[in-house]
């Protein structure tokens, strides 16, 4: 079980939070590598930033959720320190670092097709646990390559629950008062209108991750005139050339049937209408090949926001008179990510 650490223990373990021990840094703070002296165990110590007024709330939210989570594909919490305004979490150390590091920075080992497929299987299993197997439904809300850690055997571990929230059984979404949170390229279109994260929006982020792992390109990559990778892959699919999206670094050594399946599943999970996206139980079976991927339309459907419809009802909307936003409008009108900036687009749709 996780335990409470004294600050002096973590200070000693990280050599006084030495810059050379820094593993990463994000909006929620800095992560350091440490070694617990009493048993010589390597750990990752996440020190939450106090620059944000919500720092303590973020810490407590993360601690409350992950304290009881138990799954082989989740980063394990070893303990915490919460005293005198200092907010720290202690995780098991992941020797191979993040998936992002291996895909993009050049500092990790190149990932073979077999390892990429293994990572996808692990993340899908973890997501299904969060959505349906834990005693509360947990929406992660920030699934992306940099939040997927790899152990010494390249097993995927989903981590960073700083944005995660547990849902009561009767609820289907969690709303943030200050607007949309997450990472551009992984954020589902309905989140810009509602400010709510749901299991549907986690699936959208997973779809972006699928395409990212297969293609070796970030979701926000601009390519061949397209502003987002998902749109480029959709165009390749429409032209019968979807396998051209496969990462050029592995084109001589990958399974074409598996790559085709994962790219199509990525598009299915990226469906602009939330209710049309597959659920995690089906996704796990589709990845293994036990179930076929649902039919993917040749053209990406437009995002529609029918008045007075809930997210779960959106799948019933077959047509609506809409005015699509152009790509240039999307870039200028939908940034920065705050609900106030989207209030004027509630009844508009996005391609």
Residue ranges of the annotated binding site are: 46
Q: Would the CA dihedral through 318, 243, 208, 66 be positive or negative?
A: positive
Taking the C-alpha atoms of residue 78 and residue 260, their distance in angstroms, rounded to an integer, is 39
247 catalytic per annotation:
no
Note if the bond before 336 is cis, omega within 30 degrees. Answer: yes
Query: Which bin fits 332, alpha (ψ -120 to 50), beta or left (φ > 0)?
Result: alpha
Angle between helices 229-238 and 199-215 (to 10 degrees): 70
CB 165 within 8 A of CB 197: yes
Largest separation between any pair of C-alpha atoms in the chain = 66
Place of tokens 């990559």: 221
* Feature table: binding site for ATP: 46
Taking the C-alpha atoms of residue 250 and residue 239, their distance in angstroms, rounded to an integer, is 22
Helices and strands per DSSP (H, E), number in the chain: 11, 14
Q: Which two tokens stand for residue 344?
A: 């004027």
Taking the C-alpha atoms of residue 181 and residue 287, their distance in angstroms, rounded to an integer, is 28
Which residue in the list 58, 100, 142, 202 is annotated as catalytic? 142
Known catalytic residues?
A: 142
């Amino acid at each position: 079980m996780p335990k409470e650490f004294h600050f002096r223990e973590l200070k000693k373990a990280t050599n006084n939070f030495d810059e050379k021990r820094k593993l990463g840094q994000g909006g929620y703070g800095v992560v350091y590598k440490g070694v617990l002296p009493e048993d010589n165990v390597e750990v990752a110590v996440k020190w939450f930033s106090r620059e944000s007024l919500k720092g303590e709330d973020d810490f407590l939210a993360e601690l409350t959720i992950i304290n009881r989570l138990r799954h082989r594909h989740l980063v394990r919490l070893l303990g915490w320190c919460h005293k005198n305004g200092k907010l720290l979490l202690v995780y098991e150390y992941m020797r191979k670092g993040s998936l992002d590091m291996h895909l993009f920075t050049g500092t990790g080992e190149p990932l073979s097709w077999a390892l990429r497929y293994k990572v996808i299987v692990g993340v899908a299993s973890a997501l299904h646990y969060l959505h349906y197997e834990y005693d509360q439904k947990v929406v992660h809300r920030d699934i992306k390559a940099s939040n997927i850690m790899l152990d010494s055997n390249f097993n995927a571990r989903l981590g960073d629950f700083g944005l995660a929230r547990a849902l009561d059984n009767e609820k289907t979404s969690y709303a943030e008062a200050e607007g949309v949170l997450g990472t551009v390229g992984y954020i589902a279109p309905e989140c810009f209108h509602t400010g709510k994260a749901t299991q549907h929006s986690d699936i959208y982020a997973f779809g972006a991750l699928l395409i990212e792992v297969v293609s070796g390109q970030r979701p926000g990559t601009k390519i061949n005139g397209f502003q987002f990778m998902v749109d480029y892959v959709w165009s390749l699919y429409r032209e019968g050339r979807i396998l051209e999206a496969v990462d050029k670094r592995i084109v001589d050594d990958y399974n074409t049937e598996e790559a085709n399946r994962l790219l199509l599943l990525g598009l299915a999970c990226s469906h602009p209408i939330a209710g049309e996206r597959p659920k995690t139980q089906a996704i796990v079976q589709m990845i293994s090949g036990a179930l076929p991927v649902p039919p993917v339309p040749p053209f990406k459907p437009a995002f529609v926001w029918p008045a007075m419809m809930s997210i779960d009802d959106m799948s019933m909307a077959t047509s609506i008179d809409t005015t699509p936003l152009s790509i240039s409008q999307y870039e200028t009108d939908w940034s920065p990510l705050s609900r106030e900036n989207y209030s004027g687009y509630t009844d508009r749709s996005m391609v």
